[in-house]
Chain A
Amino acid sequence: MQSRRVISKPQKESLVSPIIAAIASALIPGLGQILARVVNRGLIILASFITSAGLLIWRIATEGARYTGWKTIISKAYKLNPFLYLITILMIVTYIYAIVDAYLTARPGAKKSKAVGMIFMIILVFFAQGWEIGQIDLGALVRDADEAVPALTKVMWPWAKAISHPEEFRTSYVEVQTPCTDVAFPSGEPKTDEPYLIADPTCGVPSEVEVSLGTEFHVIGRNFVPGNEVEIWWKDSANREFHHRVDGDYLIVTPDKNGSFDISVIMPYRTLTPAAEEGVKTWQIQARQLISVGGAVASDELKLAVEKMIETIFIGMMATFFGILLAVPVSFIAARNLMSHSPVTMVIYYLVRTILNIIRSIEPLIWAIIAVIVVGLGPFAGILALTLHSLAALAKLYSEAIESIDSGQIEAIQATGANWFQVISFAVIPQIIPPFVSFTIYRWDINIRMSTVIGFVGGGGIGYLLAQWIRILDYRSAGIAVWFIAITVAILDFVSADIREKFV
């Protein structure tokens, strides 16, 4: 082991006197330090000042964009955004600091200092600017909490929306005759198991506009489901159905605990001309009750979430699959050790590597947006985007695995008199399979995670659903989607870690 001794270099002699250095730094921050031959520090100070001054001017210009005349712009900007005062003050302090620092460093025989305070001030200025540009507002975390909490509760515990109770209207009716005739019209009959209605009287006349009210029927209902609301409807002789209204509102009654109700209804206006309803007709008084049929079933939202989750997993799988198919051949021409034989292959190598790096450096979400433009909304766009990104990522990892192949093993097999194919299958493949499998599982994991969000930009899968539900503020349904994503990713973590452990 060689031990490295740190030799502290003596401070180089300043080119100018301390006063000149201070004045230089007052004119151009950092210039004094450069003249005092601490060039790096001077350059850092200069660059920092140019950057933060540029940022400040930009912020002032945006805040005061609606005004004209630079004086107005500045004063308005500071009034609108008092935070700019803080930044300005910090910059002035740093400016003075830089002048003092220039003076001190230019003193003859000055010790080489680390300028910690200077760097701290510069970081502080940038921190303040970052705070302002990032619109950091810690208050927002709690200000609207009372609105956020119910929504978040729904997201976190959405299961009320996961099941539904199928319901349907059951209609019971009693017929009444209009007008009355000599023959008594029979009323409804009591039934034992079904709900029934009995009307009294059993005949009457409709209301007539501005002339007379219709006959008042006393209707009793029995055997209804206690507590469930009952809507009262009419059906006239022409089979038109309409709500019974009382003062413009629908009549809704709630049966008592025995399932009974008693009401009085006045026969409404005709909807037909009297002429069309000549003769003796029968009308129905209907009682419609919403009752649940069958047990609890999965809600439509739940089914949709399951379907889209399956779609999501397959998007990830197909992308991984295509990614592997494309990456394997590409990885061979992206492996330095295989391509370093001639200048031509080296050019190909660099070309392929560069393309792969570019593809990889663009996020899959951006690729998805491009894919949606090309092939339209839907899972295929997602598959394309993820395939492209997987290709680039896998080809890089695979080629690195190929580059780290132990050539000794290859030579040993060559030495036995094996041919090219035998060398590949005996010496190369056993060496690259484990890293290939490991990288592939890792990629598969990433792809399924990515496929859950690729839908946000239209790439299909559960993300698409989640985005829509969030947009229509259906937090419960969104919660279902979020849960599915979380569960899938958790399972995936577990499975992929397990598989990879076995191979590495």
Chain B
Amino acid sequence: MLQIKNLTKVYPDGTVALKNVSFEVPEGEFLIVIGLSGSGKSTLLRCINRLIDPTEGQILWNGVDLSKLEGEELRKARRKIGMIFQNFNLIKRSSVFSNIMSGRLGYTQTLPSMLGRFTKEDIDMGKNVVERLGITDQMHKRADELSGGQQQRVGIARALMQEPELILADEPVASLDPVLAHSILKTLETLNHEDGLTVICSLHYLDLVQRYGSSVVGLREGEVVYRGSREDVRKMTDEQFKEIYGAEAERVGASIEGVVQE
């Protein structure tokens, strides 16, 4: 259970990116955060794993306030929170496998990891994850040689290596075409269903929101303006969506049938 309580973030330049945001995410949920560009989606996700320090409020995760953690404790907490980025944020010049193994850094001692040494178990785990995500053939390539969809799979694999309980996905499909978008979200859905991981994902497209979300939080100018369940979301019309989202809202347009099942 993740509880966000009165979360506020004011950037040093005075921008108020989050205003008193509160909501709860029960375990095993696929929560989708929607909102216009600049509404604070990234800020919210980054506050949860503390890539950004919130200004005020609490982030209670299983009773622990993430916003107060420092040093070793923060790193221990981060290990259990995987993050997936819009631009993948892979180490471009390193190999795919090395990128995936970096997900184990939180569990590895400093010196061996700096020399690129991981335990046998970790390496086996890496191979399993690679297989599960269907990127075995790409394992030894440089990360920047991969296509966008493949890179995002590496990103997911890296997060999975953390054995996470929570996955934060900041617009994971915004740089991908509709077919790939479905394919990546389906992967997240599988992790959500089969492994019971809680997923918090920011998205842009209504049909993707309706297809994958089990609940939705809508942000506008840093404030929660919508909170809906799976059913609410299914019933949501384009008009309602546009209210939260503004005129930019659109459907991705590709049907799920077009996705090659893996």
Binding site for B on A (CB under 8 A): 406, 408-409, 411-419, 421-422, 425-427, 430-431, 433-434
Contacts and interface: CB of A to CB of B under 8 A. Distances in A.
Interface in B35-77: 49, 51, 75-77
A419 B89 contact: no
Contacts of A419: 75, 105, 110
Nearest to B110: A421
A415 B114 CA distance: 17
A421 B114 CA distance: 7
Contacts of A427: 91
B83 interface: yes
Contacts of A406: 89, 92
B153 interface: no
B53 to A, nearest CB: 13
Contacts of A422: 105, 108, 110, 113-114
Nearest to B80: A417
Nearest to A414: B51
Interface residues of B, number: 32
Q: Name which of A412, A418, A422, A433 has the most chain B CB atoms within 10 A of its CB.
A: A412
A418 B90 contact: no
B251 interface: no
Contact of B89 (A408, A417, A430, A433): A408
A294 B14 CA distance: 89
Given A411-B51, A422-B113, A430-B94, A416 B89 contact: no
A422 B89 CA distance: 16
B81 interface: yes
Nearest to B77: A417
A415 B49 contact: yes
Q: Name which of B81, B93, B94, B102 has the most chain A CB atoms within 10 A of its CB.
A: B102
8 shortest A-B CB distances, which residue pairs?
Answer: A417-B106, A417-B79, A412-B89, A418-B105, A417-B78, A408-B89, A415-B83, A425-B114
Contacts of B94: 426, 430
Nearest to B79: A417
Nearest to B114: A425
B105 A416 contact: yes
A158 B158 CA distance: 65
A433 B114 CA distance: 15
Contacts of A426: 91, 94, 102, 105, 113
Given A409-B89, A425-B114, A426-B91, A416 B102 contact: yes
Contacts of B108: 422
B75 A409 contact: no
A430 B89 CA distance: 13
B142 to A, nearest CB: 10
B105 A430 contact: no
Given A413-B91, A416-B105, A430-B93, 14 more contacts: A406-B89, A409-B89, A409-B90, A412-B83, A412-B90, A412-B91, A413-B102, A415-B82, A416-B79, A425-B114, A426-B91, A426-B94, A430-B94, A431-B93
